[in-house]
């Protein structure tokens, strides 16, 4: 489903471009999971300083990523995250893998240009631990960060992950920003990334109660491997 983001100075309202109207819910709600559904209409306020929602206000649509978006997506990631983005520990879990089925999204502006991106990847929490998703990278065109695009991408990605039956999502990021979506470090104390990272920035969100029970050890890649060189699935 495609979502239209109607931007205002203090809030961003996302309504389905087709299909019945749905309820609105705000960023500040304590339990976003209860409101998750693919047809949700979302209201997302501007993000914290330095997070993917800071900057000028614009309008965009969120759609599934397709192969034709890949080059523009890579250019966007370089602009938004810099040349060292491929050295992050999360990259070790994405390298040589494809995003989780149905969980790669981009935001387009009114001209059709790619102005935002988020992907989720299949991982395993420890050697014999439960399956989960790794979220990232999340990025928005630097000049469009306060339009709520980053928040809309996050909420859409979480909703789709829940709809597809996944149990939990992990990421490495700033708790003040990702906490609004229900992420915290409360359940990640026994988990580790496969490279350098700041422990307090390893966050998780349960989509199913108890999905993180007993999770421990180093997070491992578990996604579909790229069988041949394909620009379409560069992390």
Copy the structure tokens of residue 205. Answer: 């969100």
Q: What is the pTM of this model?
A: 0.74
CA distances from residue 146 to 49, 127, 133 in whole angstroms, order as listed: 10, 40, 26
Three-class DSSP category at 214: coil
pLDDT the model gives residue 12: 31
Whether the predicted pLDDT of 171 surpasses 90: yes
Specify the range with the lowest mean pLDDT, choosing from 40-54, 99-113, 174-188: 40-54
Compute φ and ψ for 34, nearest 5 degrees: -60, -25
CA distances from residue 11 to 16, 32, 91, 147, 186 in whole angstroms, order as listed: 17, 17, 32, 8, 29
How large is the average pLDDT for residues 138-155?
Answer: 92
pLDDT the model gives residue 155: 97
User: Selecting from 3.40.50.10490, 3.40.50.970, 3.40.50.720, 3.40.630.30, what CATH number does the domain 3-233 have?
Assistant: 3.40.630.30
pLDDT in tens, 209-234: 999 999 999 999 998 998 765 545 55
Strand partners, 63: 106
The residues near 213 (Cβ < 8 Å, ≥ 6 apart) are: none
Q: Which residue has the higher pLDDT, 137 or 5?
A: 137
Domain spans of the chain, in order of start: 3-233
Q: Which of 213, 149, 210, 158 is nearest to 182 (CA)?
A: 158
Give the confidence band of 89 by pLDDT, cuts at 50, 70, 90: confident
- Any idea what DSSP says for residue 225? B
């Amino acid at each position: 489903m495609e979502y239209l983001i109607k931007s205002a100075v203090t809030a961003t309202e996302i309504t389905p471009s087709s299909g019945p109207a749905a309820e609105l819910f705000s960023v500040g709600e304590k339990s976003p999971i209860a409101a998750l559904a693919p047809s949700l209409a979302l209201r997302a306020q501007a993000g914290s300083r330095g997070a993917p929602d800071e900057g000028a206000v614009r309008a965009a649509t969120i759609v599934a990523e397709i192969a034709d978006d890949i080059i523009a997506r890579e250019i966007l990631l370089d602009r938004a995250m810099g040349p060292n983005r491929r050295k992050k520990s999360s990259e070790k879990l994405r390298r040589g893998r494809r995003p989780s089925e149905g969980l790669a999204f981009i935001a387009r502006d009114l001209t059709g240009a790619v102005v935002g991106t988020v992907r989720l990847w299949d991982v395993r929490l420890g050697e014999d631990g439960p399956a989960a998703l790794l979220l990232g990278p999340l990025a928005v065109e630097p000049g469009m960060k306060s339009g709520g695009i980053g928040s809309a991408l996050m909420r859409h990605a979480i909703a789709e992950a829940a709809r597809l039956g996944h149990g939990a999502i992990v990421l490495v990021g700033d708790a003040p920003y990702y906490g609004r979506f229900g992420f915290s470090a409360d359940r990640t104390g026994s988990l580790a990334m496969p490279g350098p990272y700041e422990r307090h920035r390893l966050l998780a969100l349960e989509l199913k109660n108890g999905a993180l029970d007993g999770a421990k050890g180093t997070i491992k890649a578990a996604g579909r491997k790229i069988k041949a060189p394909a620009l379409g699935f560069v992390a």
